[in-house]
Amino acid sequence: MPRISSDTLWELAAAEVHSRETGGGEEDGGGEDGGESVSERTVFLMGSKAGGKTTILLRCLDRDEPSKPTLALEYTFGRRARGHNTPKDIAHLWELGGGTSLSDLVQIPISPVSIRSLSVILILDLSKPNALWGTMEKLLQAAQDQLEKVFSLAQQGQKTKSGTKHQTSVHSAARVLPKDFPDRELISPFPVPLLIIGSKYDLFQDFDSDKRKVVSKTLRFIAHYYAASLVFTSIKSESLMSKTKSFFSHLAFGLDRGKTVTSDPTKPLIIPAGFDSFTQIGSPPTSDVDITSLHAKNPKDLWKKVYERVFPQENTSEQRELKDPAKDPRYSEPQIDAMRVQKDQELDQYKRNAAKSWKGLELDT
């Protein structure tokens, strides 16, 4: 019997998904019979630790179930029928847990198979402004680095493979802004559609008005700089969750995201991509800061320095998850846990015996 490599099944699955996304094959419903094809999109959620990512995702999917802390990287999916007796569109949904501590896992949802239909949602906890910029910066940079790596691999693949269909699918993955997009020459668009969600607005609205203004204007700048949509929400507000769901459904299923625009800092922000501008946002709120004293390399760096003067950032680079999942009572397995304890004891005994033997060897020497 011929030996089958361990990744053969993965390769076949990846090829099947790629075939469906690029319109190939006979099972996509797009053949001569005129059937409708099934749309498959991928949405990757990341953001602040304990920022409400899972709860927001469940609400957007209309799932009435309690949320649990995300251990590392979790996958689920959503389906939506376009109409009666029509195929159901599928959204592949990935959620990264742990805040910034597991940012290297972005390589799993951001892959050559997913980029053609990929969107990213960044959820930032508005109630913790001192961790907001660091979280945003590290996660977006990790995602962007992985996207650039995947795009580079895709371009290299073009040089070794022929075929119009393959080339079209790779080129269509790159995000192209309309020519009339505000400040098109001054911004740095995120490589794929990006939605920034400010969570826990119910707590944020009780902040001092000046501090709310700093956070709101800064996030408006960041969202516009990356050509992203921005929405503030709270799981305690049905109205805000409804608007958040429309943005989510736009990315996951291609539905209309609505036409509501709110840029008043005294209200929850709702700004679709392309509906803001640097002129409307204005300059950084620097009532207590002399801009000339800040040695910034570019506009984004200037906003960062002003923001960090108001909200000194916590160190997020070392916030590794130190808890051992094997000792978490939520994942208790009595028989396995008992065997684990026994093996740990055997390991400790082995270490003690080994230490004694090495000490004796040193004395003999």
Consecutive H or E run containing 57: helix 53-60
Give the CB-side neighbour count of residue 115, counting CA atoms within 13 A: 26
Tokens of 186: 């001054």
Q: What angle do CA 56, 257, 111 make, to 5 degrees?
A: 65
Quick one: pLDDT at residue 67?
85
* DSSP code, position 226: T
Quick one: pLDDT at residue 174?
59
Please measure the distance between the N-terminal and C-terminal CA atoms of the chain and give it in whole angstroms: 55
Consecutive H or E run containing 124: strand 118-125
Quick one: pLDDT at residue 338?
84
Residues 39 and 250: their CA atoms lie apart, in Å, by 13
Quick one: pLDDT at residue 315?
67
- Residue-wise DSSP of 75-121: EEEEEEESSTT-PEEEEEEEEE-STTTTGGGGGTTSSTTTGGGEEEE
Please state the CATH superfamily assignment of the domain spanning residues 37-310 in this structure. P-loop containing nucleotide triphosphate hydrolases (3.40.50.300)
pTM for this model (two decimals): 0.75
Quick one: pLDDT at residue 293?
66
Quick one: pLDDT at residue 318?
43
Helices 299-310 and 132-160: crossing angle, nearest 10°? 150
Domain limits, the chain: 37-310, 325-355
Q: Digits of tens for pLDDT over the chain (365 positions)?
A: 444 444 455 555 555 555 554 444 333 333 333 345 668 999 999 999 999 999 999 999 999 888 888 889 999 999 998 777 778 899 999 999 999 999 999 999 999 989 989 999 999 999 999 999 999 999 999 999 999 999 988 877 766 665 544 443 444 455 789 999 999 999 999 999 999 999 999 999 999 999 999 999 999 999 999 999 999 999 999 999 999 999 999 999 999 988 899 999 999 999 999 999 999 999 988 766 666 667 778 899 999 999 999 999 876 444 444 456 666 676 678 888 888 888 888 887 877 777 666 555 554 44
Tokens of 162: 């022929």
Quick one: pLDDT at residue 15?
57
Quick one: pLDDT at residue 26?
34
Quick one: pLDDT at residue 197?
98
Task: Tally helices (H) and strands (E) across the chain.
Answer: 10, 7
- CB-based burial label for 284 (10 Å; 0-12, 13-18, 19+): buried
Cα-Cα-Cα-Cα dihedral of 271, 273, 278, 284, to 10°? 60
Residues 206 and 219: their CA atoms lie apart, in Å, by 18
How far is CA 54 from each of CA 106, 336, 347, rounded to the nearest angstrom? 17, 29, 38
Tell me which residue of 214, 205, 219 sits closest to 127, measured CA to CA. Answer: 205
